[in-house]
Structure 1
Amino acid sequence: MTPTAPAPTRAEYCVIACAEAWRGAGEILASPMGLIPSLGARLARHTFAPGLLLTDGEATLVDADGNPEGWLPYRRHLALVTGGRRHVMMGTGQIDRYGNQNISCIGEWAKPSRQLLGVRGAPVNTLNSPTSYWIPRHSRRVFVERVDMVCGVGHDRAARHPATARFHHLARVVSNLGVFDFATPDHSMRLASLHPGVTVEEVGEATGFALTIPAGVPQTRAPDLGELRLIREVLDPAGSREREVRS
């Protein structure tokens, strides 16, 4: 790739934002769910996080190119989860200002209007392991004032149990509009960076609760030429990322 390569697309900014979730993580199991998080985890392994462990989703540890390099049976996988040695990046049907996540149902719990995945492993993920979220379509239907059912535990609910709250860590939320964290006094959601071309007003209009907006919100870090080459030529030469996040 030459220095005159096309500028990064919105999807490529999202890949970088997801990759940054694992910066400095050391030897920890990365569990990215979905295309963009998977590209981010593999990019991190290729570059600034060589100690990451990656899986094929079953029982094999793989390198950043998908080649087998170890065995991870389910029993060992669960030991890593409950011991806090995994950082998962999940999706969500709904998320609120404190990071409570819903992947189970939409509407009244007793008679929902939509059935989603179910609670699955979300409570245990957020009990001990670093957890992040990827949301490809930022809207008020997803960023809600109150989730219809709590699956992944948010900061307000974790705080009710001080003995275990110290193990609770929501790292970041990445959407197609920007990056969000919980670095506020009450651990409510904060706008940490904007993807290029996105305004604070646009994010506010697409969010169903009041975000903390710091003065001078920075732009999401751009991929350098080496990272762009990896994304475009090695990790996703078919360009599938552009179908998930359109510029």
Structure 2
Amino acid sequence: MITTKATRAEYCVVACAEAWRGAGEVLASPMGTVPMIGARLAKLTFSPELLLTDGEALLIGDVPALGAKAAVVEGWLPYRQHLALVAGGRRHVMMGASQLDRHGNQNISCVGDWARPTRQLLGVRGAPINTLNNPTSYWVPRHSPRVFVEQVDMVCGVGYDRAAAAGPSATRYHRIAEVITDLGVFDFETPDRTMRLRSLHPGVTLEQVAEATGFVLTIPGEVPCTREPTDEELRLIREVVDPKRLRDREVRPA
């Protein structure tokens, strides 16, 4: 029986796992330590059909601990086939974001003016095709006004306003499912498809979230706490998936 209280990182893991609840046989593409733990937790519990990779080109059939080799390999997924899978929509990616605005536009390319940026980042990468062809969520381990901005400096991942402006070809498969941060869970289930606070992690206040966000969030009248991990989920996180506690490096204890 688990007696130790769940940490902030473990609440974040469960919130990430929930993004793949009921996803069926789709490829989970988690980017970041906490999302990787979340995807593995989802497969071990409420989403057993979820497809996982070893982070490179192998589809794996078991759920090894982070950093361990898979014992069961189900298939080969080279880059070309991976792109075909993405274009077909059978994937739910959880990406990071250097900047994210109220409409869900994401930037991972550069900070500052395109002609002379103050920071060069990853580049656009696969963000446009991810957001236009399969469900996309975001993981932000440090919720701050530097990330959540009024307007991103460059659009990499496509938000709801730009998808709508581009027309049906862009909106057909476009869906930003969730944004999970170290403060709470957010979505875009509002009439104008702008970011809404869905739940707060325990110990976080509305004032903290508002101060850490560079735009005005939609905040419902009542905001619940993020779902608490079950004893079995805590056991799986601590003993099976992440026994080395790598999650605490990404999300500091509250």
Please indicate the TM-score interval, normalised by the length of the shorter structure: over 0.9
Alpha-carbon distance in structure 2 between the residues aligned to 1:194 and 1:166: 31
Within the candidate set 46, 49, 54, 1:48 is matched to: 46
Alpha-carbon distance in structure 2 between the residues aligned to 1:166 and 1:193: 28
Deviation at 1:162, TM superposition (A): 2.6
Alpha-carbon distance in structure 1 between the residues aligned to 2:7 and 2:107: 29
The amino acid across from 1:174 in the alignment is: I
Question: Could you say which residue in structure 2 is the equivalent of 1:78?
Answer: 83
Question: Could you say which residue in structure 1 is the equivalent of 2:4?
Answer: 6
Question: Could you say which residue in structure 2 is the equivalent of 1:205?
Answer: 211
Q: Aligned with 2:19: secondary structure?
A: helix
Question: Could you say which residue in structure 1 is the equivalent of 2:138?
Answer: 133
The alignment yields a C-alpha RMSD, in angstroms, of 0.8
Deviation at 1:163, TM superposition (A): 1.6
Residue 244 in structure 1 maps to residue 250 in structure 2: yes
Question: Could you say which residue in structure 2 is the equivalent of 1:178?
Answer: 184
Q: Aligned with 1:159: secondary structure?
A: helix
Alpha-carbon distance in structure 2 between the residues aligned to 1:139 and 1:187: 21
Alpha-carbon distance in structure 2 between the residues aligned to 1:158 and 1:195: 30
Cα-to-partner distance string for 1:8-35 (whole Å, 9 max, x where unaligned):
0000000000000000000000000010
Deviation at 1:74, TM superposition (A): 1.8
Question: Could you say which residue in structure 2 is the equivalent of 1:58?
Answer: 56
Alpha-carbon distance in structure 2 between the residues aligned to 1:136 and 1:58: 23
Residue 223 in structure 1 maps to residue 223 in structure 2: no
TM-score by length of 2: 0.95
Question: Could you say which residue in structure 1 is the equivalent of 2:150?
Answer: 145
The amino acid across from 2:133 in the alignment is: N
Deviation at 1:211, TM superposition (A): 0.3
Q: Point out the more displaced range, 186-195 or 234-243.
A: 234-243
Deviation at 1:246, TM superposition (A): 1.1
Deviation at 1:58, TM superposition (A): 1.6
Deviation at 1:168, TM superposition (A): 0.5
Deviation at 1:57, TM superposition (A): 2.0
Alpha-carbon distance in structure 2 between the residues aligned to 1:74 and 1:51: 22
Deviation at 1:69, TM superposition (A): 2.3
Question: Could you say which residue in structure 2 is the equivalent of 1:27?
Answer: 25
Within the candidate set 156, 159, 168, 1:154 is matched to: 159
Percent identity between the aligned chains? Answer: 70
Alpha-carbon distance in structure 2 between the residues aligned to 1:94 and 1:238: 30
- Equivalences for 1:181-192 in 2 at 5 Å? 181-192=187-198
Deviation at 1:146, TM superposition (A): 0.3
Deviation at 1:166, TM superposition (A): 2.3
Residue 116 in structure 1 maps to residue 121 in structure 2: yes
Alpha-carbon distance in structure 2 between the residues aligned to 1:163 and 1:175: 30
Within the candidate set 34, 37, 40, 1:36 is matched to: 34
Listed as ranges, the gaps of 5+ residues in structure 2 are 65-69
Alpha-carbon distance in structure 1 between the residues aligned to 2:166 and 2:112: 27
Listed as ranges, the gaps of 5+ residues in structure 1 are none
The amino acid across from 2:165 in the alignment is: R
TM-score by length of 1: 0.97
The amino acid across from 1:14 in the alignment is: C
Alpha-carbon distance in structure 2 between the residues aligned to 1:40 and 1:228: 11
Cα-to-partner distance string for 1:180-231 (whole Å, 9 max, x where unaligned):
0000001000000000000111100000000000011011001100000000
